[in-house]
Structure 1
Amino acid sequence: MDSIQKSFAAIDKGGRLQKQIAEQKKRVVMSKPVQSFLREANEVTEDMIDRGLSKLYEFKKEREHCETCPGLENCPNMMQGYRPSVYVERGSLELTYSKCPLKLDDEEKKLQQGLIQSFYIPKDVLEATFDLIEQDSDRTKAITEAIKFASTAQPGEDGHGLYLHGKFGVGKSYLLGAIANDLKESRIQSALIYTPDFFREMKAAIGDGTFQEKLEAVRKVPVLMLDDIGAETTTAWTRDEILGPIMQYRMSERLPTVFTSNYDYDELEVQLSYSDKGGTEELKAKRIMERIKHFTTLVEVKGKNRRS
Structure 2
Amino acid sequence: MERINSSLSAWQGNEDLQQRLNQTKQSLLKSPHIAQFLREQDQVTDEMITSGMTKLYEYKKERENCDNCPGLKRCPNLMQGYQPELYVERNHIEISYHACSLKVKEEKQKQEQKLIRSLYIPKDILAASFDQVEADSERMQASKVALQFAMNAKPGEDGMGLYFYGKFGVGKTYLMGAVANELKVRGIETFIIYTPDFFREMRQAIGDGSFQDKLEAVKKAEVLILDDIGAETTSGWTRDDVLGTILQHRMLEKLPTLFTSNYDYDELERHLSYSDKGGTEELKALRIMERIKHQTKSVLIKGENRRGR
What TM-score results when the alignment is normalised by the length of structure 1? Answer: 0.74
Partner residue of 1:111 out of 102, 105, 115? 105
Q: Secondary structure at the match of 1:307?
A: helix
Name 1:217's counterpart in structure 2.
217
1:141 has 2:131 as partner:
no
The Cα shift of 1:24 comes to 10
- Structure 1: gaps (5+ residues): 1-21, 42-47, 86-92
* Structure 2 equivalent of residue 27 of structure 1: 17
Matched, 1:53 2:47: no
Helix, strand or coil: the match of 1:226? strand
Q: For residue 78 of structure 2, what is the aligned residue in structure 1?
A: 75
Question: In the aligned structure 2, how far is the partner of 1:284 from the partner of 1:131?
Answer: 41
Amino acid in the other structure paired with 1:111:
K
* 1:307 paired residue number: 307
Q: Distance in 2 between matches of 1:284 and 1:64?
A: 61
Q: 2:7 aligns to what?
A: none
Q: What is the one-letter code of the residue matched to 2:20?
A: M
Distance 2:283 2:60 in 1: 69
Partner of 2:241: 241
Structure 1 residues 75 and 39: alpha-carbon distance in aligned structure 2, compared to 1, 3 A threshold: closer
Alpha carbons 1:191, 1:224 under 8 Å: kept: yes
What is the Cα deviation at residue 252 of structure 1?
A: 1.1
Cα distance change, pair 277–152 in 1 and its aligned pair in 2 (3 A): same
Q: Distance in 1 between matches of 2:292 and 2:271?
A: 14
When Rg is computed on C-alpha atoms for both structures, the one with the higher figure is 1
Q: Which string of whole-angstrom CA distances, capped at 9 and with x for unpartnered residues, describes residues 214-254 of structure 1?
A: 01111111111000000011111110111111111111111
Task: State the Cα distance separating 1:81 from its structure 2 match.
Answer: 4.7
Given that 1:33 and 1:64 are in contact with CA atoms closer than 8 Å, whether structure 2 keeps it comes out as: no
Unaligned runs of 5+ in 2: 1-11, 36-44, 65-73
- Where do residues 159-198 of structure 1 align in structure 2 (5 Å cutoff)? 159-198=159-198
- Give the whole-Å Cα distance in 2 for the aligned partners of 1:38 and 1:181: 41
Structure 2 partner of 1:156: 156
In structure 2, distance between residues paired with 1:157 and 1:66: 34
Q: Which whole-Å CA distance do the structure 2 matches of 1:287 and 1:111 have between them?
A: 35
What RMSD over aligned residues (CA atoms) do the two structures have, in Å?
3.8
Q: Deviations over 1:24-79 (max 9, x none)?
A: 997365246325247899xxxxxx75565322354457768999xxx867728xx9
In 1, distance between residues paired with 2:104 and 2:130? 23
Q: Could you tell me the TM-score, scaled by structure 2's length?
A: 0.74
**Cα pair 2:166 2:172 within 8 Å, conserved:** yes
Count, aligned residues? 267
1:298 to 1:74, Cα distance in 2 relative to 1, 3 A: closer
For 1:152, give the aligned amino acid.
Answer: N
